[in-house]
Copies of this chain bind each other. A is one copy, B any other.
């Protein structure tokens, strides 16, 4: 059988997620290995290469089955060279990732940032459902994003496109953000932001059931807030309204500019599902132009942690096809 496979690799600070995915987007095999951040991460490319070979052996498949590797990495990346300027959690500084991984594996490698890969992963095999103009909003510890226009990831002039977590939601007097600015949407709509809003609201809401959540180890999580909403807790409902308002407004403003066909919400916070989707959509519809609104469909991401490996495989597939042309 001539069907080719692609390897998707999604590098995180603690684990490396890996998968073989067929050219038709079928998941053949998925596994993960620990991220070895010792020695400034110099073993990582070797570990990946070795693990790919071992898995091929285990599956009794020759290496010729693999057409290429698409890899997602965190940090500042020179995308054309697959060169990592700095990835703090990994230990890399000026690390030629593409070059090294190609050397280890003998396969063509394409590198992109993890949020972008998650977006094309959802486009190909997830909630994006093949939409060629897609906005992916990842609501996790922070807020990330990926923008796909006409089937291609928007990278911008120096690889920063899609950094939608740092769009300013509250221009004056907003909470401080990790990026050094204040009032970024990340300070409101991330898991961290939701916890912050809950903690700040406790004093004004002495009867809130979130006081119990605050007393437990780890304090209030975004999950606690969504659960409290289901019990009509006033504080929790006010937080959900605030998150929905700012997120819906931000997405509408961005959509008036890029006119996506699909808007996918992913990341841990998106597990709240309809509870989150409803206020976000209501505010989106208030602030988007009529035809922009008509063109856009909302969905919750469906691939979860697999979005990155699917996106990696897609990028490798696209890249191989273009090279052949």
Whether the Cβ atoms of B253 and A167 lie closer than 8 Å is: yes
Whether the Cβ atoms of A295 and B157 lie closer than 8 Å is: yes
Whether the Cβ atoms of A149 and B160 lie closer than 8 Å is: no
Q: Given contacts A163-B289, A164-B256, A166-B256, is CB(A157)–CB(B261) below 8 Å?
A: yes
* Residue A175 is within 8 A (CB to CB) of chain B in the complex: no
- Alpha-carbon gap, A154 to B290, bound state (A): 19
**A35-83 contacts to B (CB < 8 Å):** 76
- Alpha-carbon gap, A133 to B147, bound state (A): 14
* Residue A158 is within 8 A (CB to CB) of chain B in the complex: yes
Whether the Cβ atoms of B259 and A168 lie closer than 8 Å is: no
Q: How large is the interface on A (under 10, 10 to 19, 20 to 34, 35 or more residues)?
A: 35 or more
Whether the Cβ atoms of B145 and A257 lie closer than 8 Å is: yes
* Residue A159 is within 8 A (CB to CB) of chain B in the complex: yes
* Residue A204 is within 8 A (CB to CB) of chain B in the complex: no
Q: Closest residue of chain B to A261, judged by CB? A: B157
Copies of the chain in the assembly: 2
Whether the Cβ atoms of A158 and B252 lie closer than 8 Å is: no
Whether the Cβ atoms of B168 and A249 lie closer than 8 Å is: yes
Q: Closest residue of chain B to A152, judged by CB? A: B150
Question: Across the interface, which residues of B come within 8 angstroms of A109, CB to CB?
Answer: none
Q: Given contacts A167-B256, A253-B253, A289-B166, is CB(A133)–CB(B149) below 8 Å?
A: no
Question: Across the interface, which residues of B come within 8 angstroms of A166, CB to CB?
Answer: 256, 289
Residues of A near any B CB (own CB < 8 A): 76, 131-133, 145, 147, 149-150, 152, 154-164, 166-168, 171, 179-181, 249-250, 252-254, 256-261, 287, 289-292, 294-296
Give 8 nearest A-B pairs by CB, closest first. Answer: A156-B259, A157-B261, A161-B259, A160-B259, A158-B295, A133-B157, A157-B295, A167-B253
